[in-house]
Amino acid sequence: MEAAGAGVAPIRAQYLSSKEQFHAYLKAERESRNQENNQDDGEEDPSSNDQTEPPAKQMKLDGGDQVRKQGSQEEVLKEEDKKPQERKRARGQNKSRPCMKPKHYEKDRLCQSVIQECAEKCYFGSQCRFLHDVGEYMAVKPSDLGDSCILFKTFGKCIYGVTCRFARAHLGEDYRNIINGDLVKQWEGKPLVRNSLSKELQQRLRKKKVCFDKSSEYLSHLGKPSSAGNAGNKATGNSTEEKGMTNCTASKGNAEGLDVLPPGEEAPECLTVSEKGEASESMVLQSSCLANASKDSTLKTIGPVTDEDVIKLRLCEKKRLDIQGKLYLAPLTTCGNLPFRRICKRFGADVTCGEMAVCTNLLQGQSSEWALLKRHYTEDLFGVQLEGAFPDTMTRCAELLNQTIEMDFVDINVGCPIDLVYKKGGGCALMNRSNKFEQIVRGMNSVLDVPLTVKIRTGVQEKVNLAHKVIPNIRKWGASMVTLHGRSREQRYTKDADWEYIAECAKLASPMPLFGNGDILSYEDANRAMQTGVSGIMIARGALIKPWIFTEVKEQRHWDISSNERFDILKDFTNYGLEHWGSDTQGVEKTRKFMLEWLSFLCRYIPAGLLEYLPQKINERPPYYMGRDYLETLMASQNVDDWIKISEMLLGPVPTNFTFLPKHKANSYR
């Protein structure tokens, strides 16, 4: 055991341990628990991996642990071979980490027509490559993970039928799906998740048959020279008074929510998306509606008739973003998924934002990218974050989202430090490309009906701050709010966030709100941040390490949360994940994947009762220590295999040949 050094969290001496003692204790406890589970014939323990499997699968599962351990050891050896003799701190991403695809989970999959109990309607007929014999599928299907299906229990129906890994809770005779009619009626007409991508819109995006009238009008002015003395705004097109622009190139008098197509184009060939409706399914106008609209010039409307279709809203008339003093959960790539945001909302997060979405992928109709925009009905203040490097794609994407999804604001990511984004001119690179940056902000602002916000860093290079120069321009360009992360791109997450500099920038931003971000892991950190004069705080890694930080800040206390309470949080995440990604094998494994990514941050939390003094600092690395019980010790493990064990306690045994490495190298230390 070594004394706590610089950068190491101060843990009470009686809890400190060596690496060898720590892993020996976990191994002994695990073996002891496995023996107890093997002796217990009558009861099933949720943390046990000894589940009855089909004979064909049993041998593979028995050898799965050994294969997985060998695979993880090989990965470690490869990483160690690449390291120089002097050990350096791991940084960046595990770009070559293994990727588990759906075919790895189950080779024999059941046809969707059979799952929905309408096998006679299979589109592919005899050429379908999926199974149609339920008995054959059940013979090779992995065993169920439990007796209670969260989908059936909550909504009265599990849409995954026999493929559900909790199917025995809702299967009747001949593998028929049981439905609880009363529960189904309760949820009828209540969309739980909004902002889904419809098949029709996806097809039109892929065929490039979606019109962007407002964007085209703005972009048409980019190449035109402006009068002397207005060089900074030569490519802006920022107001109707200056440029004589309207919201679209359509003729005046068209109905609200409908943009008339340019002359010579037929309505079915080019879709102009409508204003946001009550249900996500009805957000995109059908071709037939457009065709009828072109024939009938006197459309019947319901509600007040406005002139928003012909007169552009002024900045002062736009919806304001009133989040002064609220707790803002940062948009977090990979880990900031919808189930995690639900966890944070439950603990008191006021504002949530979807993961960073690449505008070009959204314009191409990629389902995986549109999934990042989904919004749960409990997210009352929700925004989406876009990344892009050019005004044309960013402006078109903003117009598309403005008319197809429900959101309270749009955020531009000008803080992303990763090379893939930076080298293409996006993320932090925009801070050095002021002309493109201005065109993007003004263009998006001109097509959006909701507030536009910007997230930036202090700069690109470590000792060259740029934010104080950029922020006044962002305010002038029309953004409603700016969020400043107190580190440069070169720093990434090393060293402390510069809150003194954030305080200076907050004064420059006034009257535009500025939110500060960086190194907030306790209510004391939050209080110090608010004293700098910022309008509010954004919490990122602090929420990943301890999502109950929002409760601590609001109640102004340190929460010595128990291991059982933390495990209950993981149970809730599991249920939310099964609701969101599905309760079939693919959904279970996707839930496991995102849980493991989150566990790579959760293991950094040190229980308040174990610290010599409070609070824990975000950049202090936890040493090896023994928790107050086995579960607390297991949750403190920095070993990938122990994270997998925790996931198996909730989601059953991992598939054969399963491997996992966290996205960030700094999270995969052992």
Residue 644's closest CA among 669, 621, 662, 620? Answer: 662
pLDDT value, residue 37: 75
pLDDT value, residue 354: 97
pLDDT value, residue 659: 86
Using the 8-state DSSP alphabet, how is residue 170 labeled? Answer: S
For the cut 90, the answer to whether the pLDDT of residue 606 exceeds it is yes
Q: Which of 96-105, 397-406, 624-633 has the lowest mean pLDDT?
A: 96-105
The string of pLDDT tens digits covering residues 154-213 is 999 999 999 999 999 999 988 999 999 999 999 998 899 999 999 999 999 999 999 999
Report the alpha-carbon distance of residue 451 to residue 102 in Å, rounded.
39
Is there a contact between 438 and 473 (Cβ–Cβ < 8 Å)? yes
pLDDT value, residue 280: 40
pLDDT-derived band at 663, boundaries 50, 70, 90: confident
Full-model pTM: 0.81
Sheet harboring 327-329: ordered strands across? 327-329, 536-539, 514-517, 481-485, 452-457, 409-414, 382-387, 352-358
What's the N-to-C CA distance of the chain in angstroms?
A: 16
Stronger pLDDT, 626 or 276, i.e. the higher one: 626
Quick one: which H or E segment has residue 454?
strand 452-457
For the cut 70, the answer to whether the pLDDT of residue 267 exceeds it is no
Residues identified as active-site? 416
For the cut 50, the answer to whether the pLDDT of residue 217 exceeds it is yes
Question: What are the backbone dihedrals phi and psi of residue 273, each rounded to the nearest 5 degrees, phi first?
Answer: -75, 150
**For the chain, what is the mean pLDDT?**
82
Burial 52-89 (b: 16+ CB within 10 A, else e): ebeeebeeebeebbeebeeebeebeeebeeeeeeeeee
Is there a contact between 614 and 552 (Cβ–Cβ < 8 Å)? no
Task: Write the single-letter amino acid at 412.
Answer: I
Distances in whole angstroms, Cα of residue 25 to Cα of each of 108, 177, 549, 610, 666: 40, 45, 30, 18, 24
Stronger pLDDT, 91 or 283, i.e. the higher one: 91
Structure tokens at 575: 């249920």
Using DSSP, state whether 598 is helix, strand or coil: helix
For the cut 60, the answer to whether the pLDDT of residue 538 exceeds it is yes
Report the alpha-carbon distance of residue 210 to residue 232 in Å, rounded.
31
pLDDT value, residue 317: 62
State the average pLDDT over residues 14-28: 95
Of the ranges 11-20, 284-293, 650-659, the best mean pLDDT one: 11-20
Contacts of 176 (CB under 8 A, 6+ apart): 117
The string of pLDDT tens digits covering residues 453-505 is 999 999 999 889 999 999 999 999 999 999 999 999 998 877 899 999 999 99
Quick one: which H or E segment has residue 294?
helix 287-295
Report the alpha-carbon distance of residue 457 to residue 28 in Å, rounded.
47
For the cut 90, the answer to whether the pLDDT of residue 379 exceeds it is yes
The string of pLDDT tens digits covering residues 310-361 is 555 555 566 778 899 999 999 999 999 999 999 999 999 999 999 999 999 9
pLDDT value, residue 286: 36
